[in-house]
Amino acid sequence: MWVYLNGKFLLQEEAKISPLDRSVTFGDGVYEVIPSYGGELFLFEEHINRLESSLSETFIALPEEFNNLINILHSLYTKNKFDNQSFYIQISRGVQEIRSHQASRTLKPSLFISSQKLDENPFRENPFTAGLKTRLEEDIRWGRCDIKTTALLGNVLSMHDPSFEVVDEIIFHRGGFVNEGSKSNLFIVKDDLILTPPLSQNILPGITRNHVLRNLKKFGMKFKEENISLESLLQADEVWLTSSTKEIQPVSMIDTHKLPLINPQESLWKKVLDSF
């Protein structure tokens, strides 16, 4: 597999990032994941705008290649050959020779890009596939989850706790209200009304989430952005998770709670996925 690192295309095993890069010493960087279908970058401008926003919010300078990212991604797509790919773009504040919380203002940002095969959504291939198994957890993450930072320990910590059963996704909640998944946004359905938590809860402004909301409006489907209580979550007719690599995927289990069994052909998640 080929990657791109600070101006060069390299084989993955040849790419080396300094241990003094602030992405290593402080998790001081941001990232973006962009799907590509048949060589077409999906919602590219929206992803790039969010990446630029993350850089601005963290006071990290744009790398020199920023305005050429689309050409770099197309070249990497050609080199890695898979028909459908997901691109990971990481930009850190740069390499600092002496570890210090205060970074030098003259640091040059580091740019790393990789791609991998993007498997087809299993719920497209077979909508009768068993839904995702999830668990609820108190949200212990920092208060700026609207920034897509590389410091994701709060998202992945319990995934590595051997005392927990392995699940497909974790659903975070705080103060009795649902926020989002550890790597996804969340939607529920109750009596044909679609609900999703508002961005005011400092959740990630998901690109796929926004795309789904536009489609709901376009097709005249009833939806609201509002706080979702834990009680409402467990009483929902449907729960879905969305992300750039998941697209839309239904949930079947939340801890030990089983969601209602609904024929996918009669479900709203399937209708929305078909419009995707």
What is the tens place of the pLDDT at every residue in 31-59? Answer: 999 999 999 999 999 999 999 999 999 99
What are the catalytic residues? Answer: 148
- Per-residue pLDDT averaged across 168-187, rounded? 97
> Residue 260's closest CA among 189, 209, 194, 184?
189
Tens-place pLDDT, residues 223-259 = 999 999 999 999 999 999 999 999 999 999 999 999 9
Residue 269 has pLDDT above 90, yes or no: yes
Query: How high does pLDDT run on average in the chain?
Result: 96
- Model confidence band, residue 270 (pLDDT cutoffs 50, 70, 90): very high
- Let me know if the fold of 2-118 is the same as that of 124-274: no
Per DSSP (E only), the strands in the chain are 2-5, 8-11, 29-37, 40-41, 84-92, 110-117, 132-138, 169-174, 177-181, 185-190, 193-196, 223-225, 238-243, 247-254, 257-258
pLDDT at 133: 98
Global confidence as pTM: 0.95
Tens-place pLDDT, residues 56-71 = 999 999 999 999 999 9
Going from N- to C-terminal start, the domains of the chain cover: 2-118, 124-274
Report yes or no: 228 and 201 within 8 Å, Cβ to Cβ: no
pLDDT at 89: 98
Residue 99 has pLDDT above 90, yes or no: yes
Residue 103 has pLDDT above 90, yes or no: yes
Residue 74 has pLDDT above 90, yes or no: yes
CATH of 124-274, one of 3.40.30.10, 3.40.50.300, 3.20.10.10, 3.40.50.1240: 3.20.10.10
Written in H, E and C, the secondary structure of 94-123 is CECCCCCCCCCCCCCCEEEEEEEECCCCHH
pLDDT at 276: 86
Report yes or no: 176 and 229 within 8 Å, Cβ to Cβ: yes
**pLDDT over 70, % of the chain:** 100
Polymer length in residues for the chain: 276
> Residue 276's closest CA among 195, 193, 219?
219
- Can you name the CATH fold of 2-118? D-amino Acid Aminotransferase; Chain A, domain 1 (3.30.470)
Report yes or no: 60 and 96 within 8 Å, Cβ to Cβ: no
What distance in Å separates the CA atoms of residue 275 and residue 1, rounded to the nearest whole number?
33
Residue 158 burial by CB count (10 A; 0-12/13-18/19+): exposed, middle or buried? middle
